[in-house]
């Protein structure tokens, strides 16, 4: 907090807060305890750039093989294994590029910013290892426009790393040469989608491209094979190179090895960002565990939680014992997304909470696909008038009709014993190119499925108002 001395205010706001260490294995947050964790001296004194040295001492293909056999899952949202992604580039098409997705902006998500602000050299080392292993000629590190301090920390770290010979021409005296170019955005959530990110990096409006043909691995930046990796994914690579595949896979489970950064926010006692053991830690551990959030504020009851960022269908206490593991959470009707849990206690106004998310996605629609551009706005307007107590009986059916024009067919949702619901597994079908449109419907569908009576109560209130011969009475 701010310290007042004389007429000026010195503050510690430059150090991004929120990380809670705990006594658990650390792969990407091992330096967070140091105040100068972002400086090259601290980085090198704590094993920094050893992973790069280890990688450069071996043929690139074996480094790629290690990333593949360690099953380093993408931490941006889709959870696709990085080693497999790198292998999807067509043979003998050069150059190939690396684009780093540091455009973190999914509601509830707070981890990449911490990794960039607190340990930028670890990310740079990860980029270098990826470029070496997959034969990528130039790297573009795209940081969200609003993240001023992250941009400063990465710029400063890149300047240090260039100076010290870790980035640029003939890295560590070898024939490995690669530039890492810092790029920064200007405020657009949709740019977090990989093809929109590439459009933006080409200097255009950040609208997603149609896949096929624009799968980035085959046809990405400037039409060339392009690997797009998330910040946290790349931050895993230095530790993996230094400690080896066996040490990496010894943490977590077979399908979800290693650790994950998870931000838990909302109505909990100790909201925070935690590096958790992947695949085994349950939602109950995270929300109620003493080493994590320590329960719901004021000992209130849990009403619902969003398990994987604003785009993820909601869970209730019925799903608390699920582990943080992609396939199980998917079968249960949601997704892990970008590692963001938002907790709602019994005091939460559910239609209003859903509106904050639907408004977000409606606002962030790029306008390319009609179902999202029109549908998102419709959803927001209808939901908004329900929240304002002006909803009509037709509105609930209308919400679902609009939602089904974005996502036809069964929409994923969780099971619920009290309501007699069985789960519909993730994912959904969609009539849009990217996930922004469906994401506007997710909170509407979850809230309506699990808490329909709260919507009906709002509408009933209005229909009870009767116009009489002498005026309005209730």
In the region spanning residues 398 to 457, those forming contacts with another protein, defined by CB under 8 A, are none
Give the nearer residue to another protein in terms of CB position, either 182 or 247: 182
Specify whether the CB–CB gap between 312 and 337 falls below 8 A.
Answer: yes
Cβ proximity to another protein: between 145 and 244 the closer is 145
Q: Is 87 in the site for another protein (CB under 8 A)?
A: no
474 is a contact residue toward another protein (CB under 8 A): no
8 near another protein (CB under 8 A): yes
Q: Half-sphere exposure (CA, 13 Å, Cβ side) for 122?
A: 31
Pairing state between β 302-306 and 340-345: antiparallel
CA distance 449 to 442: 10
Cα(18)–Cα(275) distance, integer angstroms:
12
Chain positions 327 to 346 lying near another protein, rule: CB under 8 A, are 340, 342, 344
Near another protein by CB under 8 A: residue from 30, 101, 105, 242: 105
Residue position matching structure tokens 């949709």: 190
Rounded Cα gap, residues 454 and 456, in angstroms = 5
Residues 42-81 that bind another protein (CB under 8 A): 53, 56-60
166-201 as b/e, with b when 16 or more CB fall inside 10 Å? bbeeebeeeebebebebbbbeebbbbbbbbbbbbbb
Binding residue for another protein, selected from 273, 276, 350, 396, defined by CB under 8 A? 273
Q: Show contacts with another protein in window 173-192 (CB under 8 A).
A: 174-179, 181-189
Q: Quick one: 142 or 378, whose CB is closer to another protein?
A: 142
**Beta carbon nearer to another protein, 33 or 393:** 33
Contact status: 13 vs another protein (CB under 8 A)? yes
- Of residues 191 through 230, those in contact with another protein by CB under 8 A are 200-206, 222-224
How is residue 174 written in tokens?
């070898």
Number of shown-chain residues binding another protein (CB under 8 A)? 99
**Least distance (Å) between residue 409 CB and another protein:** 26
* Contacts (CB under 8 A) with another protein, residues 154-173: 155-156, 158-159, 162-163, 165, 167-169, 172
CB of 6 to another protein, least distance (A): 10
Closest distance to another protein from the beta carbon of 439 (Å): 12
- 3-class DSSP assignment, residue 408: coil
How many helices (H) and strands (E) the chain has is answered by 18, 12
- The Cα 353–Cα 306 span in angstroms is 11
Of 17, 90, 389, 408, which one interacts with another protein (CB under 8 A)? 17
Give the residue, chosen from 72, 98, 127, 147, that forms a contact with another protein under the rule CB under 8 A.
Answer: 147
Residue selected from 50, 137, 249, 280 as contacting another protein according to rule CB under 8 A? 137
Cβ atoms of 260 and 339 closer than 8 Å: yes
3-state secondary structure 147-181: CHHHHHHHHHHHHHHHHCCCCECCHHHCCCCEEEE
Nearer to another protein, 155 or 421 (CB): 155
């Amino acid at each position: 907090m701010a310290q007042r001395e004389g007429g000026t205010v010195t503050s510690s706001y430059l150090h991004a807060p929120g990380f809670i260490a705990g006594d658990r294995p650390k792969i990407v947050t091992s330096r967070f305890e140091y105040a100068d964790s972002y400086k090259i001296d601290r980085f090198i004194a704590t094993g920094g750039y050893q992973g790069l040295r280890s990688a450069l001492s071996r043929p690139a293909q074996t480094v790629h093989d290690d990333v593949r056999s360690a099953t380093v899952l993408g931490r941006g949202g889709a959870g696709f294994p990085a080693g497999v992604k790198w292998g999807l580039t067509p043979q003998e098409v050069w150059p190939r590029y690396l684009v780093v997705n540091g455009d973190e902006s999914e509601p509830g998500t707070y981890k990449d910013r911490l990794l960039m602000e607190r340990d930028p050299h670890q990310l740079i080392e990860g980029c270098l290892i990826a470029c070496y292993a997959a034969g990528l000629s130039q790297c573009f590190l795209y940081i969200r426009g609003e993240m001023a301090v992250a941009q400063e920390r990465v710029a400063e770290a890149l300047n240090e790393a260039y100076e010290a010979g870790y980035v640029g021409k003939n890295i560590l005296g070898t024939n490995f040469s690669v530039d890492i170019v810092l790029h920064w955005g200007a405020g657009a959530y949709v740019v977090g989608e990989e093809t929109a990110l590439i459009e933006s990096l080409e200097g255009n409006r950040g609208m997603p491209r149609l896949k096929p043909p624009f799968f980035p691995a085959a046809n990405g930046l400037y039409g060339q094979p392009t690997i797009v990796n998330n910040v946290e994914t790349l931050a895993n690579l230095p530790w993996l190179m230094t400690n080896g595949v066996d040490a990496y896979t010894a943490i977590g489970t077979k399908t979800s090895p290693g650790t994950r950064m998870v931000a838990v926010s909302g109505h909990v006692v100790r909201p925070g960002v935690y590096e958790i053991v992947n695949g085994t830690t349950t939602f109950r551990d995270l929300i109620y565990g003493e080493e994590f959030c320590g329960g719901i504020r004021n000992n209130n009851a849990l009403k619902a939680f969003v398990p994987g960022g604003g785009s993820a269908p909601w869970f209730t206490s019925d799903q608390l014992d699920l582990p943080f593991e992609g396939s199980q959470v998917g079968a249960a009707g949601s997704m892990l997304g970008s590692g963001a849990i938002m907790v709602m206690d019994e005091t939460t106004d559910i239609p209003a909470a859903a509106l904050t998310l639907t408004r977000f996605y409606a606002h962030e629609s790029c306008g390319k696909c009609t179902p999202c551009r029109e549908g998102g706005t419709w959803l927001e307007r209808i939901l908004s008038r329900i929240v304002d107590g002006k909803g009509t009986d037709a509105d609930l059916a209308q919400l679902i009709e609009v939602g089904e024009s974005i996502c036809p067919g069964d929409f994923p949702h969780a099971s619920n014993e009290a309501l007699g619901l069985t789960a519909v597994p993730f994912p959904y079908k969609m009539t849009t190119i990217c996930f922004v449109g469906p994401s506007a419907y997710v909170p509407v569908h979850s809230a309506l499925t699990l808490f329909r009576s709260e919507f009906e109560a709002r509408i009933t209130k209005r229909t009870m108002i009767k116009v009489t011969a002498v005026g309005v009475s209730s």
